[in-house]
Structure formats: structure tokens, C-alpha cells
Amino acid sequence: MKTILVTGGAGYIGSHVCVQLLEAGYSVVIADNLCNAQRDVVDRIARITGTQPVFYQTDLLDLDGLRAIFRAHAIDGVLHFAGLKAVGESTEQPLRYYSNNLTGTLHLLTAMQEAGCTTLVFSSSATVYGADNPVPFDERMPTSATNPYGYTKVVQERILTDIAAAQPDMSVLLLRYFNPVGAHPSGWIGEDPNGIPNNLMPYVAKVATGELPCINVFGNDYDTVDGTGVRDYIHVCDLARGHMLALEYAFGRTGTDIINLGTGRGSSVLELIYAFSKACGHPLPYVIAPRRPGDIASCWADTTKAKEVLGFTAQLTLADMCRDSWHFICRQRERE
Ligand code: NAD
Ligand code: UD1
């Protein structure tokens, strides 16, 4: 049974991956400083799976803390989710973003190297395709960024590629996620950000509960099916399944590889609002607002490589994503 270190494992995507790792029989060690997660997520993972993961409240900026984890456990591979991810905040606090995301990754690589751990799967993002590539985005396209968060992903991809090139026994997989949404069907884990969400799905969910009055649709004059922005929304459970396949692939090889995880299908803002209103059972008020600076019209994945290399195809629909998000939000409100 392999032991996997999951950095950021108490977070939104990491927690769903921990569930699937435990269900598949892996031993799971989580390192998370809880800057964007709650401690009880770890217990919820245990409640879903019947197995308690090992948890360390450790900051990746604390190199000695990381070293201690590698001393305490024979870690076979690392899934690296820990990082700050809010685009707007990254523009206001670039030093914090570069420091957390880059130094955290450098510390992790240092601790891995010292411990002789050679397999790493990294959470990258479709944001690295920048604003100039045509859709669908494929892995060979040039990368760029429009904000500090995006640059941390571009630079982390570079760092990981260079280190794998210099260390021939290393296996690095860069997974570029498109738009992860949805929640575990149990309703125990999901995404419920504090305050006013930046991303569309959690914003729509808060309008559905009545916590926010109305959705602002950022632009209806894009060159898309209905003029609103088009994105490749992928259910977080499909995304987690992609990680299971990716991890086994990473264990069987060396070098760096890059794989998109998306559905290959785009949905517009209005399509998502409509799908969510069906899931929650009532219409959702929206107004057309100006375009959001930095947004692109369309973003969806070329999924050929994920299919060929991993045998991965997303299975869950936009309706499934909205249903599971809504179920999680309702359960969460009952628990509060
Ligand atoms: P999240 O914020 O829910 O999870 C990240 C976790 O990392 C949090 O639990 C946080 O407490 C932890 N963390 C942050 N900095 C840390 C540090 N220095 N030390 C230890 N723990 C730390 O975010 P998520 O949505 O689960 O995203 C996971 C990863 O996937 C991130 O790297 C993110 O950039 C990437 N990603 C996310 C999306 C998305 O839309 N959610 C899209 C593309 C890529
Ligand atoms: C955003 C980030 C991106 C990050 C991704 C996942 C920006 C510019 N981009 O991407 O770097 O990788 O989140 O975290 O922030 N929308 C509305 N109203 C809203 C919110 C969003 O109309 O209140 C629209 C947007 O204009 C877009 C779509 O909904 O067309 C999806 O937005 P969002 O969920 O923020 O994701 P991205 O824009 O893909």
C-alpha cells in the first residue's frame, strides 16, 4: 500500500482526492496550514471513507516541519495542491502569492529530495494558456499569464520541469485543471467560500440560498453562443478520478509530462445559471454587468491527451455538477 502526501489536502480539490485515495486503499498524509480550509474537513473525509487520514497542520513555508513529515512517514509520492488561488487577491498581494506558492513548492522539493521521494503530481491551471491561444487549449501551446496567481503557476511549472530534467529518477506530472465545480454527492465536502465569491458557481449558489441578491453576468457581448463567457466546468469528483489515474501514470515513468483535466465541452454563464436554477428548483435573478477585466471569451480543454495517456474521460454533466453543489450547500446550511 503506497503512502501519499497530499499538500493542501483539507482544501476543496484536495479533500475530494483524499476521499478517492483512501477508497482505493492508499495511506494518506495531509499537510495543510488551514489558511483556506477548516480542520473538520479531515473528519468529514474520515466519515465518508471510514478511514482517518493522518493530518499535520503544517505550513509549506516551514521547511523543518515538512522534513519532519518525511522523517515520520515513508512517502511514496506527493500530490501538491497547497497554494493561494484568488486572482484578484494575487494582484493586491503579489509578494504573499509569490512567497507562498513558489517558496512553498521549493521547500517541498527540498524535503522530497532529501528524503529520496521522486514522484510529484502538481495542480496547475488552464490559466497558464493566457489570453492569446485559440480554443480548445492543448498541452503544446505556449504558456503565459495575466496576473500574479497565473505567473506562480507558469513559474512553478518551469521549476518542476527543470528539477525533473536535472534529476533523472524524478517523475513530475503537471495537471492543468479547467473549472472545477460541484461537490461530493454525500454532501459532506464541497466548496463554500467565506464572503463574496469570485468564481461563478459559488456565487450562483449563494444567490440560490438568498445570501446574495442577484448574479452579475460579466458581459454578454463576447463572440460565444449567447454572448456570455464560456468555460469548461468539470465535476470535482471527475477531477479527483483523473488524479488517481495520473498518480499511477506518474509512478510508472520518469521525466515531466503535462495533461489537461477538463471535459472538452464549454458552457456559457447563462447555461450554468439555467442548469443551477433547475437543480435548486427556482429561477435565479441576474443582471448583465460590464466585462470583468482579464477575462477571456472562451476556455475549454483539448482532452485528447488525457484520454490517450491516462484513459481519462469526464463523465459527469453540468446538471450533475449543479445538483451536487446545491446538495452540499443545503447540507452545509443545515449543519450551521
Ligand atoms: P483551496 O484553497 O481549497 O485548497 C488549497 C489548500 O492549500 C487550502 O486548504 C489551504 O489551507 C492550503 N494551503 C495554502 N497555502 C499553504 C501553505 N503554505 N502550506 C500549507 N497549506 C497551504 O484550493 P483548491 O480549489 O482546492 O485548489 C487546489 C490547487 O488547485 C491550488 O494549487 C489551485 O491553485 C489549483 N487550481 C484550482 C482551481 C480551482 O478553480 N479551484 C483551478 C485550477 C487550479
Ligand atoms: C477564474 C480566474 C482563473 C482561475 C479560475 C479558477 C479570473 C480572471 N480568472 O477563471 O485564473 O484559474 O477562476 O479559479 O479571475 N462570471 C460572471 N459573474 C460572476 C463570476 C464569474 O459572469 O460573478 C463569469 C466570468 O466572466 C466567466 C465565467 O463566469 O466567464 C467563469 O468565471 P470564474 O468562475 O471566475 O472562472 P474563470 O473566469 O474561468
* CA–CA dist 22, 52 (Å, integer): 9
- Check residue 74 and give its pLDDT: 98
* CA–CA dist 176, 12 (Å, integer): 16
- Check residue 236 and give its pLDDT: 98
Ligand 1, residues 85, 155, 232, 234: which to mutate, most atoms within 8 A of Cβ? 85
- Check residue 194 and give its pLDDT: 85
- Check residue 169 and give its pLDDT: 98
Atom of ligand 2 nearest to the CA of 228: 30
pTM for the whole structure? 0.98
User: Using a 6 Å CB cutoff, which residues line ligand 2?
Assistant: 85, 87, 125, 127, 150, 179, 198-200, 203, 216-218, 229, 231, 269, 292, 294-295, 299
Reply yes or no on whether 149 is catalytic. Answer: yes
Collapsed DSSP state (helix, strand, coil) of residue 141: coil
DSSP sequence for 52-117: PPEEE---TT-HHHHHHHHHHS---EEEE--S---HHHHHH-HHHHHIIIIIHHHHHHHHHHHHT-
Q: Residues 6 or more apart from 68 whose CB is under 8 A from it?
A: none
Ligand 1: centre distance to CA 211 (Å): 24
Q: Whose CA is nearest to atom 1 of ligand 2?
A: 199
Ligand 2: centre distance to CA 315 (Å): 22
Please choose, from the candidates 209, 214, 230, 237, the residue with its C-alpha nearest in 3D space to the C-alpha of residue 289: 214
User: Which one of the ligands is nearest to 108 CA?
Assistant: 1
- Check residue 97 and give its pLDDT: 98
What does each of the 336 residues of the chain score in pLDDT, given as a tens digit?
899 999 999 999 999 999 999 999 999 999 999 999 999 999 999 999 999 999 999 999 999 999 999 999 999 999 999 999 999 999 999 999 999 999 999 999 999 999 999 999 999 999 999 999 999 999 999 999 999 999 999 999 999 999 999 999 999 999 999 999 999 999 999 998 888 999 999 999 999 999 999 999 999 999 999 999 999 999 999 999 999 999 999 999 999 999 999 999 999 999 999 999 999 999 999 999 999 999 999 999 999 999 999 999 999 999 999 999 999 999 999 998
Length of the chain: 336
- Check residue 336 and give its pLDDT: 87
